[in-house]
Amino acid sequence: MRFFSDNAAAACPAVLDALAEANRLDTAYDGDQWSRRLDGAFSDLFETEVRALWVTTGTAANCIGLATLCPPYGAILCHRDAHIENDEAGAPGFYTNGAKLMLVDGPGAKLTVDAVAEARGRVRADVHQVQPKAVSITNATEYGLTYSADETATLGEFARSHGLGFHLDGARFANAVVSTGAKPADLTWRAGVDVMSFGFVKNGGLNAEALVFFRTELADEALVLRKRAGHLLSKGRYLAAQLLAMLENDAWLDNARAANAAAQALAAAAGPRLVHPVQANELFVRMTPAEAAKLRAQGFDFYDWAPGEIRLVTSWDQDMEAVGRLAAAIEAL
Amino acid sequence: MRFFSDNAAAACPAVLDALAEANRLDTAYDGDQWSRRLDGAFSDLFETEVRALWVTTGTAANCIGLATLCPPYGAILCHRDAHIENDEAGAPGFYTNGAKLMLVDGPGAKLTVDAVAEARGRVRADVHQVQPKAVSITNATEYGLTYSADETATLGEFARSHGLGFHLDGARFANAVVSTGAKPADLTWRAGVDVMSFGFVKNGGLNAEALVFFRTELADEALVLRKRAGHLLSKGRYLAAQLLAMLENDAWLDNARAANAAAQALAAAAGPRLVHPVQANELFVRMTPAEAAKLRAQGFDFYDWAPGEIRLVTSWDQDMEAVGRLAAAIEAL
Amino acid sequence: MRFFSDNAAAACPAVLDALAEANRLDTAYDGDQWSRRLDGAFSDLFETEVRALWVTTGTAANCIGLATLCPPYGAILCHRDAHIENDEAGAPGFYTNGAKLMLVDGPGAKLTVDAVAEARGRVRADVHQVQPKAVSITNATEYGLTYSADETATLGEFARSHGLGFHLDGARFANAVVSTGAKPADLTWRAGVDVMSFGFVKNGGLNAEALVFFRTELADEALVLRKRAGHLLSKGRYLAAQLLAMLENDAWLDNARAANAAAQALAAAAGPRLVHPVQANELFVRMTPAEAAKLRAQGFDFYDWAPGEIRLVTSWDQDMEAVGRLAAAIEAL
Amino acid sequence: MRFFSDNAAAACPAVLDALAEANRLDTAYDGDQWSRRLDGAFSDLFETEVRALWVTTGTAANCIGLATLCPPYGAILCHRDAHIENDEAGAPGFYTNGAKLMLVDGPGAKLTVDAVAEARGRVRADVHQVQPKAVSITNATEYGLTYSADETATLGEFARSHGLGFHLDGARFANAVVSTGAKPADLTWRAGVDVMSFGFVKNGGLNAEALVFFRTELADEALVLRKRAGHLLSKGRYLAAQLLAMLENDAWLDNARAANAAAQALAAAAGPRLVHPVQANELFVRMTPAEAAKLRAQGFDFYDWAPGEIRLVTSWDQDMEAVGRLAAAIEAL
């Protein structure tokens, strides 16, 4: 019974069907009929004109997006626990040709305007120091918290008024939309977001993610960067078809609802053991090694996060009976 | 009736079956059971110990490989018509952090030792000039010619004796193996090749290519470069499963045989119109615009390559009846 | 008697005096009184508002300038024999973070609009190929030829109308100004040049070159790039003082006149042996190894350029008696 | 009366004399007689075989050195207040093609093994995180503290045993040598240092710094990197001559002694106001804005470092009478 990562889950049926449907002759790269429908499909979803590109990983989506916002000699303000800092092997530096991540602290991997302003304020506006050019947030965060539309808009306003680009890592954006009940538009462009990575793989996709530009004029450069990084697949229609399948049937929302519900069931059981509020599909739970071993002995698989702390991640296809057993097992500790 | 690119073809049945089989819970990234079998499967094929990584594009495979052979301040000797020079948007410069392609001429996009030696000889061995550090060839070439095992070995010997790494772009390696009848080992490591991209997508794959290291000590760096470039997919098992499926059933050879046979049927018809010998699955055919229009009017789709020249590419799934009709139509011109 | 490089000559008296004058307490970096006068001094010279930065080498000047014109994924059209291609160790690739030099042929290392247009025309305007973003010329060229104001303007018009930046490598700009009799303004911004490196070191400077922006809005980025490359010297006043000393007394023109005159004296002697017209301070002279040896035996020092060809370079401080003796020795061959 | 930066001071007489002596014809770049003596001169000083290159800035020296120790995908452990982090505009990222600085805390900008070990220990040894490849310290530190030979050796041992390169920023190495009384060898290679930047400009030089390799096999790559970065001056002899002049007459030690002595005189006056011990030529002094204004009104020039804190820097040519007056003025506050 796996609770260690939504990355390990299977692809959902709509995605597999879409692959089969796309398995026919069509134009190479992104000239096919599916890829050409992406801008429209995401524009509908976001209630404004956007441009949307497929890529195969969140790292590629994040870093191509960041590279359109930040020059090689600039810095990106982000949380110390952000995925771009901790889990992308320096890809932001690679894609931006050398930009720097300027790290900001705050509970739950969440940025506040105060913390961002303080970090930015420490930089002298001279040629000796690297100047911030963008802010990046993750919603839901790496610790499973969400930004509300208002929280996002406050950061967006700060970014705008200081000439900073605003990037959103939406690896678990679906979970945030479901959790906050906010419209996708309110969590993004209406809040000042310029570009986002929109995650599908952790949410039942097979290997397609979306890179969505609300500042549509940035997309042309992104097309070049995608190709230059070897991310323009020659049979891109299989990626586009996955994205369309998950959007058109609201599978992306259904999947996220299922994962979030499983997380809530576990959160209720974990109660005071929770390190962070559970607002998406991740739980960080205080637990002694002996307790963790006891759960593992019952067949539950998860990640040791820190001394005395485990991480549980739920997925779109989580077996609710297994969830119930884990909840009971936690309560029984 | 499509003859414009093997990139546009569908994926073959073995690949689709493999995707379905891999659609289950397993470890994320490349820790799954399929990815862990790649080294062994490719080692068997090449009759020596190799290390093999999946990536999603030939550009990524080529450029990660080249980056392990050439420092940022070095140069890679390649043909002026090489894919890495003409069709990868500068990705070699991106992945190597600035290395230079040093262009060499020769008919049919094929390198000879003489031409490579001459290009290398023009470089002064001082700090003012960029020094060559690697040679790259493509087999089959961008014009559908093949290198024999001996031709490859001659270049390999030159590379070795001058301290140059040796890279093989094998986007259509399967077609070369079938065409030359040579063993994979003889076209690669026995001929001095250090690293190759091994193409599957043009040959019936969906979106998986292999990057194979004969100098196995280079693979660890490649793992880092792959991740840093955003090419470590979180559900990598779908890529590994494709590669295994095509290897284990010799589907890769069957597919290439089919494509090559279709090309030979067309070559017989094109006869003296051929610009290059047809040794793989590409034909470059002299043709006036009026003749090309006549073919198109009959429903044949292909690429105008140069003034008075068209390109025909055959695929694993080419309908042989359509091939026969095209052959007849060319003869009837 | 040295004729091998103007790089080997001494610094002229005005420069040494300027160093002594600058040897006092002043603000660090480029905040000192001399550095602050550069914009004005070069604006006067060019009869328009420019911005001027000191750097210590032509390579740095060229490459910082190019980096403001060309993105990492772009290409710079230049002559195959350009210094940026042949003698800067790949620095353009380093400073632009990966841009490519697209090589153009032509006699005397000189570009023509036809040759540039043809090279540009070979590039497909798609995402698979690196797109040209700038043109770079050298005046006087690496073979000692000059571009007239009209020739420059024709190239400038081509660049402008195709959206390309226009860079001038002016390592021997002084020699070109003296030789053509053109105004500095007519050889640069009036002809469409956006940015130039303005050489002083080969012309009697000690270690200061100028980077001059006619598109002044590019200079702010150049200040950042200069610092980021470690080229913002902490005692920059010694560089600024050199440049001012050579400008304010027309020493730069006097020095170039002397070097050009020495070259003309040798050119008259070399006559039909000349490979290129002599329009600046470099001569390329056909000569057998035995003849070259004969000259060397008489104490003349120079560079073997190619089989059967030597290079002679004259300097600002060339001893005219030695020049006369070399001229006589060549005539006597 | 200037106390704001040793970067603003004049060059010392030995340096100016050396420039005049070098002002004659010699080979270009670094082939001249002075440049060829550098390896020997620095080898004598360090009592072992080293290789030494001139460059014009500490940033270039630091970053070329770091680039020989750390690949683009690696990290350099350094203090949060290190010059390479705060005052080099991201040059380490530029020169290493994207490596990351991993910041470590500690009083006085000084690293301890415990702090370095803790930072390194936070990194998972997997492909998702950037792996540390080098440690960099500054001696004397940015806050004017020194590392003893033993302290350096302890860090060197840590680096060695963890496979990390060890870099020393010696912008004020002379002050550290004088202050600690240690031999140059004991503060460097005997303590495990692989490469250092050896500062001359802040200590009475004009515009030459040294980059010294104790792991001599790294120097060949550094020669390439120096050229590629535009730091190979064509008249390099003026730089080499400066370095030799300061070494051969022990001017570097005399100059540092003078600066340190001036700092000690001020330290005695500042007493309990000192934020850090004064072990080199920098003082950080607690002072209200009103007090600072009072000093400025008496003609003393210095830098406001932080709220309630000023920085005083003494130089090799500090007028000791002015020092006495400042000391008295501070005591009188």
* Stretch 125-184 of chain B: residues touching chain A, C-beta under 8 Å: none
Alpha-carbon distance D20 to C19, whole Å?
A: 10
Alpha-carbon distance B187 to B165, whole Å?
A: 16
CB contact under 8 A, B224 and D73: yes
C96-122 average pLDDT score: 97
Sheet with A209-213: strands ordered across: A51-55, A209-213, A195-198, A165-170, A131-138, A74-79, A100-104
CB contact under 8 A, A60 and B94: no
The closest of D259, D269, D273, D262 to D328, measured between CA atoms, is: D269
CB contact under 8 A, A91 and B228: yes
- Do residues C35 and C236 lie in contact, with contact meaning Cβ atoms separated by under 8 Å? yes
Residue D135 predicted with pLDDT over 90: yes
- Minimum distance, in Å, between the CA of residue B69 and any CA atom of chain C: 17
* Stretch 44-63 of chain A: residues touching chain B, C-beta under 8 Å: 55-63
Give B249's pLDDT tier (boundaries 50, 70, 90): confident
- Do residues D137 and D78 lie in contact, with contact meaning Cβ atoms separated by under 8 Å? yes
B207, B229, B238 member nearest A229 (Cβ): B229
Amino acid letter for position C224: V
Query: Would you tell me how many other CB atoms lie within 10 Å of the CB of residue B118?
Result: 12
Q: Is the peptide bond before B140 cis (omega within 30 degrees of 0)?
A: yes
Q: Is D234 exposed, middle or buried (0-12, 13-18, 19+ CB in 10 A)?
A: buried
**By CA distance, what is B72's nearest residue in D?**
D97
Alpha-carbon distance C261 to C281, whole Å?
A: 8
As a dihedral over the C-alpha atoms of residue B233, residue B234, residue B235, residue B236, rounded to 10 degrees, the angle is 40
Alpha-carbon distance C306 to A138, whole Å?
A: 60
Tell me if residue A252 falls in helix, strand or coil.
helix
Alpha-carbon distance D183 to D168, whole Å?
A: 15
DSSP secondary structure code for residue B43 in this structure:
H
- Cα angle: D73, vertex D78, D79; to 5 degrees: 145
Does residue B21 sit at the A interface (CB-CB below 8 Å)? no
- Do residues D70 and D165 lie in contact, with contact meaning Cβ atoms separated by under 8 Å? yes
Q: Which of B7, B207, B237, B313 has the highest number of chain A CBs within 10 A, making it the mutation to test binding with A? A: B207
CB contact under 8 A, D129 and A97: no
Q: pTM of the entire structure?
A: 0.97
CB contact under 8 A, C89 and D224: yes
SS3 content of chain C, % helix, strand, coil (to 5): 45, 15, 35
- Cα angle: C313, vertex C315, C318; to 5 degrees: 110
As a dihedral over the C-alpha atoms of residue A101, residue A107, residue A108, residue A111, rounded to 10 degrees, the angle is -50
Residue B25 predicted with pLDDT over 90: no
Alpha-carbon distance D72 to D68, whole Å?
A: 10
- For position D1, what pLDDT does the model report? 79
D92-106 average pLDDT score: 97
Residue D221 predicted with pLDDT over 90: yes
Does residue C225 sit at the A interface (CB-CB below 8 Å)? yes
Sheet with B209-213: strands ordered across: B51-55, B209-213, B195-198, B165-170, B131-138, B74-79, B100-104
DSSP secondary structure code for residue C176 in this structure:
H
- Minimum distance, in Å, between the CA of residue D98 and any CA atom of chain C: 10
HSE of C84, CA atoms in CB hemisphere, 13 A: 36
Does residue D223 sit at the C interface (CB-CB below 8 Å)? no
CB contact under 8 A, D227 and C91: yes
For chain C, the C-alpha Rg in angstroms (whole number) is 20
Alpha-carbon distance A261 to A257, whole Å?
A: 6
- Do residues D208 and D200 lie in contact, with contact meaning Cβ atoms separated by under 8 Å? yes
Residue C249 predicted with pLDDT over 90: no
Tell me if residue B84 falls in helix, strand or coil.
helix
Per-residue pLDDT of A239-293, as tens digits, reads: 999 999 999 989 999 999 999 999 999 999 999 999 999 999 999 999 999 999 9
Helical residues (DSSP H) of chain C, grouped into ranges: 13-22, 38-46, 58-69, 83-86, 91-95, 113-121, 149-161, 173-180, 219-228, 237-248, 251-270, 289-297, 320-331
Alpha-carbon distance D29 to A111, whole Å?
A: 51
- Do residues B80 and B104 lie in contact, with contact meaning Cβ atoms separated by under 8 Å? yes
Alpha-carbon distance D66 to C125, whole Å?
A: 39
Q: Kindly state the tokens that stand for A283.
A: 């739980």
Does residue A82 sit at the D interface (CB-CB below 8 Å)? no
Does residue D106 sit at the B interface (CB-CB below 8 Å)? no
User: What mean pLDDT is reported for chain C?
Assistant: 97
For chain B, the C-alpha Rg in angstroms (whole number) is 20
Q: A211 has which bridge partners?
A: A53, A197
Exposure pattern of B280-317 as b/e (b: 16+ CB <10 Å)?
bbbbbbebeeebbebbeeeebebeebeeeebbbbbbbb
Sign of torsion over alpha carbons D101, D104, D109, D115: negative
CA distances from D281 to C273, D2, D218, D316 (A): 63, 13, 31, 9
- For position D185, what pLDDT does the model report? 98
B73, B227, B232 member nearest D228 (Cβ): B73
Sign of torsion over alpha carbons B245, B250, B256, B257: negative
Alpha-carbon distance B115 to D250, whole Å?
A: 55
Does residue B305 sit at the C interface (CB-CB below 8 Å)? no
- For position C105, what pLDDT does the model report? 97
Amino acid letter for position C276: H
Q: Is the peptide bond before D140 cis (omega within 30 degrees of 0)?
A: yes
Amino acid letter for position A285: V
- Minimum distance, in Å, between the CA of residue D35 and any CA atom of chain A: 30
Tell me if residue C136 falls in helix, strand or coil.
strand
CA distances from C169 to C80, C82, C187 (A): 14, 9, 12
CA distances from A210 to A50, B10, C139, D148 (A): 12, 23, 48, 54
CA distances from D241 to C22, C57, D38, D68, D209 (A): 19, 18, 9, 26, 11
The closest of D102, D101, D103, D97 to D71, measured between CA atoms, is: D97
- For position D211, what pLDDT does the model report? 98
For chain A, the C-alpha Rg in angstroms (whole number) is 20
C73, C225, C226 member nearest A228 (Cβ): C73
Chains that touch A (3 or more CB pairs under 8 A): B, C, D
Output the furthest CA–CA distance in chain A (Å, rounded): 59
DSSP secondary structure code for residue C10 in this structure:
P
**By CA distance, what is D222's nearest residue in B?**
B127
Alpha-carbon distance A160 to C22, whole Å?
A: 44
- For position C144, what pLDDT does the model report? 98
Alpha-carbon distance B41 to B248, whole Å?
A: 8
Residue B1 predicted with pLDDT over 90: no
CA distances from C188 to A120, B223, C83, C178 (A): 40, 49, 19, 14
Helical residues (DSSP H) of chain A, grouped into ranges: 13-22, 38-46, 58-69, 83-86, 91-95, 113-121, 149-161, 173-180, 219-228, 237-248, 251-270, 289-297, 320-331
Alpha-carbon distance A243 to A223, whole Å?
A: 18
Q: Is the ipTM of this complex over 0.95?
A: yes
**With contacts defined as CB-CB under 8 Å, which chain A residues touch C223?**
127
- Do residues D274 and D297 lie in contact, with contact meaning Cβ atoms separated by under 8 Å? no
A51-66 average pLDDT score: 98
Render C219-266 in DSSP notation, one character per residue.
Answer: HHHHHHHHHHTT---TBTHHHHHHHHHHHHTSHHHHHHHHHHHHHHHH
- Percent of chain C exceeding pLDDT 70 equals 100
CB contact under 8 A, B94 and A229: yes
- Do residues A189 and A46 lie in contact, with contact meaning Cβ atoms separated by under 8 Å? yes
CB contact under 8 A, D93 and A87: no
**With contacts defined as CB-CB under 8 Å, which chain D residues touch B97?**
72, 97-98
- Do residues B95 and B225 lie in contact, with contact meaning Cβ atoms separated by under 8 Å? yes
Give C297's pLDDT tier (boundaries 50, 70, 90): very high
**With contacts defined as CB-CB under 8 Å, which chain B residues touch D63?**
none
